[in-house]
A and B are shown apart, each in its own frame.
Chain A
Amino acid sequence: MIDYQSMLNDEVKQLKPSGIRRFFDIANEMDNVISLSIGEPDFSTPWHVRQEGIKSLEDGKTWYSPNRGFMELREEICRWLKRHYRVEYEPKTDVVVTVGGSEAIDLCIRCLVSPGEEVLIPEPSFVCYRPLAEMAEGVPVTIQTRQEDKFRLTAKALREKITPKSKLLILPYPNNPTGAVMRRADLEEIAEVVKEHNLMVLSDEIYSELTYGETRHVSFASIDGMKERTIVVNGFSKAFAMTGWRLGYAVGPKEIIGQMTKLHQYGIMSAPTMAQYAAIEAMKNGDGDIDYMREQYDMRRRLIVDGLNAMGLTCFEPEGAFYVFPCIKSTGLTSQEFCEKLIYAERVAVVPGDAFGECGEGYLRVSYSYSIKHITEALSRIRHFLKTLN
């Protein structure tokens, strides 16, 4: 008998499994469950984009691509970033195309963090930063964000967590799960602290195209003096509804992107070829698709925020991504209890807020990446659930 426990790496064994797995096992075994839990677009990839992927297969373009990704795609990415966020990068040296934004996040953390160095992670946030930091033998340091601050990271909260070991700040905005965004003024405050303490920044801007209202997304790299300290991670999953294609990218200083490319080369070789052909089309001709999808999300967002507020689950107004983060403290239940009762009683699945960090306790993540009909039905079930609670 092999003792597998003794074979396994200690760091891996110590990674916490996701706490909500049990909850999803329940959901999967029930019939007639209506879910507001999914974190990906409900749209299919725009047809003209899919067609380019299909065409590449028909043409037999089934080989590896260059390690950094096709030059044409890197050029289009740079043009697109300039057009959308007025940041300029050199396609030859400043871009690496990755297997989703996920891989780019992993590469960036592994390239920047040495054992014992601290990685500052605002929470609630996406679940991957902490385990990836731990695998790099870095020390994750949580910065709790609060509803009073619209779940934005404040310079004050950041300063409180800085130590001589602080190395890398994760900036996860627009935010999953809260829907929070950072305005230019907020970013400028953060930039001051970053400069002062010689930090590097991983700006996860995967939801950059999904912001609502008059003000569009501001890339952290566009803030004065920040381009040289920032790795921007972005990708195709959310903006172009391309989650399954597994394609993303990182842009940043060539010295860092170069090292990330080296790791990528040994661990991955190159991102999927077919997906890159499709992505070139998305970058060139996909702006209209984004506008259309953004408008649809925005209508659903207004509907669901209004619906939840009306039934007493107050939500701060989310301005980005496709999630609402209502507060359930008024019910006296914990997030886990609420979600479990809700699914048993009404067969509606939402994600408990504490899955995204301790300070998410007392909240739910509700996705509106669903049809209006689906959202309306789910809202009426939640309304009924709240009535039965009293």
Chain B
Amino acid sequence: MDRLLNLLDENARLSTEQLAVMLGKTPDEVENAIAEYEKQGVIRGYKALINWEKVDQNKASALIELRVSPKRDRGFDEIAGRIMQFEEVESVYLMSGGYDLAVKVHGKSMQEIAMFVMRRLSTLDSVLSTATHFILTRYKDGGIILSSEDEKDERRSVLCD
């Protein structure tokens, strides 16, 4: 049922009936498949992709590159586990390349994020260095284009021209 996941990935608000029709299944089959995916932890949640800049000017976010010293036995898991507890933290990734953890953080202002990095992140034991990059504009996020102009359909009805 990969097609089910693809459909939900694009739009989690399609109704069970719509999904069933599109996939040629019964609504019960779809319900069961979704329940199973949730149980297995394949589907971890549903949320709206909101263009916050439109409703709230007091929002800032940043990508923070962290270099950390891994722990014997537990590697990066322990420090990642600590960092992801912070409410300000939206995502944590272990990276290949020049640094170790990429942390996406949001707050009310750049100032607030700067304080968070200074006071909470850089003071953690195994953190060696931080580099904070503020996000200025989000053009596309989670596969969805956020720029205010909707994409225009440039196709024409040649049939009648």
Residues of chain A touching chain B, judged by Cβ–Cβ distance below 8 Å, are 18, 20-21, 23-24, 35, 37-40, 42, 127, 295, 299-300, 302-303, 306, 351, 355, 372-373, 376
Contact status B24-A24, CB under 8 Å:
no
Contact status B22-A303, CB under 8 Å:
yes
Neighbouring A residues of B3 by C-beta, 8 Å: 295, 299
Contact status A24-B160, CB under 8 Å:
yes
- A299-B22, A302-B21 known; A355+B159 contact, CB < 8 A: yes
State in angstroms the CA–CA spacing of A42 and B7 once bound together.
17
Contact status B155-A40, CB under 8 Å:
yes
Q: Which residue of A21, A39, A302, A355 contacts B24 across the interface (Cβ within 8 Å)?
A: A302
Neighbouring B residues of A38 by C-beta, 8 Å: 153, 155-157
Neighbouring B residues of A300 by C-beta, 8 Å: 22
Neighbouring B residues of A373 by C-beta, 8 Å: 11
Q: Which residue of B21, B153, B158 contacts A303 across the interface (Cβ within 8 Å)?
A: B21
- Is B14 in contact with chain A by the CB < 8 A criterion? yes
Contact status A18-B160, CB under 8 Å:
yes
- Is B23 in contact with chain A by the CB < 8 A criterion? yes
Q: Which residue of A20, A42, A303, A372 contacts B160 across the interface (Cβ within 8 Å)?
A: A20
Neighbouring B residues of A21 by C-beta, 8 Å: 160-161
- A295-B3, A372-B11 known; A351+B21 contact, CB < 8 A: no
Which residue in chain B gives the minimum CB-CB distance to A34?
B153
Contact status B157-A37, CB under 8 Å:
yes
Contact status B159-A299, CB under 8 Å:
no
Neighbouring B residues of A372 by C-beta, 8 Å: 7, 10-11, 14, 22
Which residue in chain B gives the minimum CB-CB distance to A351?
B159
- Is B91 in contact with chain A by the CB < 8 A criterion? no
State in angstroms the CA–CA spacing of A127 and B159 once bound together.
8
Which residue in chain A gives the minimum CB-CB distance to B18?
A303
Neighbouring A residues of B158 by C-beta, 8 Å: 39-40
State in angstroms the CA–CA spacing of A122 and B59 once bound together.
61
State in angstroms the CA–CA spacing of A127 and B158 once bound together.
11
- A20-B160, A21-B160 known; A299+B23 contact, CB < 8 A: yes
Give min CB distance, B120 to chain A, whole Å. Answer: 40
State in angstroms the CA–CA spacing of A300 and B11 once bound together.
14
Neighbouring A residues of B157 by C-beta, 8 Å: 24, 37-39
Q: Mark B69-97, 1 if CB is under 8 A from A, else 0.
A: 00000000000000000000000000000
Neighbouring A residues of B23 by C-beta, 8 Å: 299, 302
Q: Mark B128-161, 1 if CB is under 8 A from A, else 0.
A: 0000000000000000000000000101111111
Q: Which of B10, B21, B153, B159 has the most CB of A within 10 A?
A: B159
State in angstroms the CA–CA spacing of A20 and B153 once bound together.
20
Neighbouring A residues of B160 by C-beta, 8 Å: 18, 20-21, 23-24, 355
State in angstroms the CA–CA spacing of A18 and B160 once bound together.
6
Q: Mark B6-41, 1 if CB is under 8 A from A, else 0.
A: 010011001000100111100000000000000000
Neighbouring A residues of B21 by C-beta, 8 Å: 302-303, 306
